[in-house]
Amino acid sequence: MSIYHSIDDFLHRLESTLISNKEPVDANRILAELRASYHEVGGNGGKLYLKYADEIRAMLEYPEEVVISKAMYCEFKQGFRQLKKLWQAKRNVESFYIHCCCQIRQLLIFNRMSEERCRSCQGALLYYYEENSQMVIKECQACRRIYSSRTGTLISASKGLKLSRASKQNLQEVVSPAEWIGYGGE
């Protein structure tokens, strides 16, 4: 299958299963559809955008730790529609994969993009767990500035930070589960 055909199939599948669906979508279904459709497109795109492609694959392997809010899903749907328009207008494979990986990554790493942005560059703040201090922090996706998840204050970054995506357990301390899209009955 050509790379163009696999991208078209990926876009069509997500459009029909997640984007245009009027029924409520739970997190398990979102993640199952991403896993099923990302395999083909991620295999080709991973060679072009390896850093994020590997990270996305790893996150999709452990879906029980992914937290998706209603706002994140709405942002994903808007971003997906823009991605589809970009693909239809330019059919640029490299540009597609960069934007695709960014959209999926923003869905899989908790954020409040519609509510909070980096004070310096207005970039998206993604929630991570810092293992040394054992606290949840927010890192700007664009300029890499780090903020406290509790106070919102800027934290001076040291080179020794050990960041991993904040899990459900980590996020329960700073985010109300009422914001999350339910997981199979939760």
Is residue 44 domain-resident?
yes
pLDDT at 20: 87
- Using the predicted structure, report yes or no on whether residue 185 has a pLDDT greater than 60: no
- Token pair for residue 6? 């696999």
Tens of pLDDT along 137-164?
999 988 989 999 988 899 887 677 888 8
Is residue 115 domain-resident?
no
Average model confidence (pLDDT) for the chain? 85
Calpha distance 23→44 (Å, rounded): 31
Calpha distance 33→77 (Å, rounded): 14
Same domain, 137 and 167: yes
Same domain, 13 and 56: yes
Q: What's the pTM value of the predicted model, to 2 decimals?
A: 0.86
Is residue 120 domain-resident?
no
Tens of pLDDT along 7-66?
999 999 999 988 987 776 788 888 888 888 877 676 666 566 667 777 888 888 877 888
Same domain, 47 and 93: yes
- Using the predicted structure, report yes or no on whether residue 67 has a pLDDT greater than 60: yes
Q: State which residues form the domain around 143.
A: 125-176
| Kind plus residue range of the DSSP H or E element containing 61 | helix 50-61
Calpha distance 138→54 (Å, rounded): 21
Is residue 185 domain-resident?
no
Instruction: Count structural domains, the chain.
Output: 2
pLDDT at 94: 86
Is residue 181 domain-resident?
no
